[in-house]
Amino acid sequence: MAVNKLERLMNLTAALLATERPLSREELHTRVPGYPEETSSFRRAFERDKNELRQMAVPLSVEPVPGTDPAVEGYRIPPDEYYLRDPGLEADELAALHLAARAVRSSDGTSTGALRKLGGTVARDEPALESIGEVPVSPEVNTVFAAISERRLLSFVYRGERRTVEPRRLDLQRGRWYLTGHDRLRDGERNFRLDRIEGKVSIDDIGSSPVQPPGRPAWRHPWELGDGPPVPVRLLVDADHVGWVRRELGRSVVIEDRANGDAVFELLVVDGVAFRSFVMTLLDHGEVLSPPEIRDDIIAWVDMLAGR
């Protein structure tokens, strides 16, 4: 049974790839061996086969058969949409991608299929490598990725409004996907957290996205977001806490290493409320030195919470 189905699917794919004009269902019934004779059984089997091909991402195109009136639906696979553009990977590059796919799996396990299409998995003598993590994937992320690579527009609802976005880049930041793109509704570059999109993401059929460089990374510290002018803020951190704070904020923002191990960080703050939230995570192991208005804001906040 399985063999017959495989043979039929291969012949169907061959017929649809080789044809220059769309083939009607009836023509395919004649040209592809292995379908039941009886019309309704054939149609059911044909529907299943179409679904099988679509699930494999075979670009099955439905077009009217030329010269039919009323129009009859015809099928073909446009070769230029079907064929992989061979990236020309060297053996070591393919092996490195293979290792990466084994080390960092996608949550739906699709990356090994990709490797087979690129020539199979070649590394044979590699040490057994266990998974070190997982990339979260979802239909929405895949749609956004497809839109970026095809330079198409995206349409989705975000914070209650329908947006049309020219997608520029996708960032996986600390386990969450962010889209950066030009929001046509707001006429500006915006970041969107994909898990906050309401409902489905769809590729807009009309219009295309102009070619643009991918732009800056989507994720910045929360206090760097907003429209106001950035204010330089100096933050003193106790020696015992300099290590993790430095890894959180980056080494470049340390402006003074004190002899006792304490360090002074300088941060550019746009959103004072978000910055206060970060300062609170230091508990009493850090202190805002300047400017006075931000220092006073922190003092007023803890005075209020301490209940004077």
Partner 1 sequence: MSATRLTAGERLERLLSIIPTVAASPEGAALDELAERFDYPPDDLLSDLNEVVFLVGLYPFSPDQLIEVMVEDGRVWIRYAEYFEHSLRLSAGEALALVAAGQSLLAAPGAEEDGPLGRGLRKLAVSLGLGDDSPVEVTLGGADAEVLDALRTGVAEAREVEIDYYSFGRDRRSRRVIEPQRVGIVDGNWYVLGHCHQAGADRLFRVDRIDEAVVRDAIFEPPDEPPDIAVFATTVADPRVTLELAPEAGWVGDYYPHDRIDEVGDGSVRVTLPVSAVPWLERLLLRLGPSASIVDADASLPGDAAAAAARRIRDRYHRQ
CB nearer to partner 1: give 43 or 241.
241
Q: Compare residues 71 and 157 and give the one whose CB is closer to partner 1.
A: 157
* C-beta of 71 vs 215, nearer to partner 1: 215
Q: Is 66 near partner 1 (CB under 8 A)?
A: no
Q: CB–CB of 305/251 below 8 Å?
A: no
104 contacts partner 1 (rule: CB under 8 A): yes
Sheet with 231-237, strands from edge to edge, namely: 254-257, 263-269, 231-237, 286-290
Residue 71 or 207: the one with the smaller Cβ distance to partner 1 is 207
- C-beta of residue 255 within 8 angstroms of C-beta of residue 234: yes
What is the rounded CA–CA span in Å between residue 165 and residue 174?
24
Helix pair angle (292-306, 272-281), 10° resolution: 60
Distance CA 300, CA 292 (A): 12
Q: Which stretch binds partner 1 (CB under 8 A): 3-11, 60-68, 182-190, 257-265?
A: 3-11
The distance of closest approach from Cβ of residue 207 to partner 1 in the complex, given in angstroms and rounded to an integer, is 18
Which lies closer to partner 1 via its Cβ, residue 143 or residue 191? 143
- Give the Cα separation of 113 and 124 in Å (integer): 17
Number of residues that bind partner 1 (CB under 8 A): 116
Sole binder of partner 1 in the list 44, 199, 244, 255 (CB under 8 A) = 244
Query: Distance of alpha carbon 52 from its chain centroid, rounded?
Result: 25
Least Cα distance to 29 among 74, 61, 80 occurs for: 74
Please state, in angstroms and rounded to a whole number, the distance separating the CA atoms of residues 192 and 195: 9
| Contact call for residue 225 and partner 1 (CB under 8 A) | no
Residue 159 interacting with partner 1 (CB under 8 A):
no
Query: Segment near partner 1 (CB under 8 A), from 37-45, 57-65, 158-166, 264-272?
Result: 57-65
The one segment of 36-44, 94-102, 154-162, 182-190 that binds partner 1 by CB under 8 A = 94-102
Considering only 60, 65, 75, 115, the residue that binds partner 1 (CB under 8 A) is: 115
Residues in the chain: 308
Q: Select the residue interacting with partner 1 from 67, 70, 160, 213 (CB under 8 A).
A: 213
Query: Could you say whether residue 304 binds partner 1 (CB under 8 A)?
Result: yes
- State yes or no: residue 129 binds partner 1 (CB under 8 A): no
- Does residue 135 belong to the site contacting partner 1 (CB under 8 A)? yes
Kindly indicate which of the ranges 67-75, 129-137, 224-232, 255-263 contains the residues binding partner 1, using the contact rule CB under 8 A.
Answer: 129-137
Query: Interface with partner 1 includes 287 (CB under 8 A)?
Result: yes
Does 121 bind partner 1 (CB under 8 A)? Our answer is yes
DSSP 220-249: --GGG-SSS--EEEEEEE-HHHHHHHHHHH
Q: How many CB atoms lie within 10 A of CB 194?
A: 20
Cα–Cα dist 148/169, whole Å: 7
Query: Interface with partner 1 includes 118 (CB under 8 A)?
Result: yes
Q: Are 182 and 166 in contact (CB under 8 A)?
A: yes
